[in-house]
Amino acid sequence: DTAVSQTPKYLVTQMGNDKSIKCEQNLGHDTMYWYKQDSKKFLKIMFSYNNKELIINETVPNRFSPKSPDKAHLNLHINSLELGDSAVYFCASSQSRSGLRLTQYFGPGTRLLVL
Amino acid sequence: AQTVTQSQPEMSVQEAETVTLSCTYDTSESDYYLFWYKQPPSRQMILVIRQEAYKQQNATENRFSVNFQKAAKSFSLKISDSQLGDAAMYFCAYTYNNDMRFGAGTRLTVKP
């Protein structure tokens, strides 16, 4: 029944490792997003996909690579993890209409800790 | 670039009282959406209320209402009859087209 789900919810890993976070939405939305929330709670958009096409790509290190196999899934792969990557990562989805993206629904977040 | 400013990092309210959280934003667009999201300690981002910029009427959801001043680019959230469960971080957000921008958040404490 979960509208937007993310796995895993917690991820603890060593510097230099590669990890992935998965996101799935069952709302039938056509747009999905990744956000990063830092330790000061500041939320910043990273990527947005509409119907599997990348439409927003903020200034994010190219170690971060989103992948959208279909419009219900948007995964985030991170290479060569660094200490500064420690944060909570939120996936979200929304339905577009007339070019305007409507309410975004968020997943529960994935807390990533890089040691 | 669109920016969203929440000038109150922390607010406190007595249970059953009313509190208003401030938000201002900067945009050159005329048709956009504004939101308030709540983030309790569980980390879940929960939509509280939404306002379409083309609507003059202020949105209301039960105890939550907004004061939307388009010309002033102000979008404050009023919480009436505050409850302990209202304690959380509150984020103001602006969206236009594919992009959503969040304010830095206001931490609301509710005192019993």
Looking at beta carbons, which residues of chain A come within 8 Å of B105? 41-43
pLDDT at position A99 is 47
d(C-alpha B58, C-alpha A24), whole Å: 33
CB contact under 8 A, B37 and A41: no
Looking at beta carbons, which residues of chain B come within 8 Å of A48? 98-99
CB contact under 8 A, A105 and B47: yes
Residue whose C-alpha is closest to residue B104's, from A40, A87, A22: A40
Residue of A nearest to B96 (CA): A100
Strands B106-111 vs B10-14: parallel, antiparallel or unpaired: parallel
pLDDT above 90 covers a percentage of chain B that reads 73
pLDDT at position B67 is 97
Residue whose C-alpha is closest to residue A81's, from A8, A18, A33: A18
Q: Look at residue B86 and give its three-state secondary structure.
A: helix
pLDDT at position B39 is 92
Question: Any CB–CB contact under 8 A between A97 and chain B?
Answer: no
Per-residue pLDDT of A39-86, as tens digits, reads 888 888 898 888 888 877 777 889 999 999 998 999 999 999 999 999
Per-residue pLDDT of B11-30, as tens digits, reads 999 999 999 999 999 988 88
Per-residue pLDDT of B36-76, as tens digits, reads 999 998 888 899 999 988 888 999 999 999 999 999 999 99
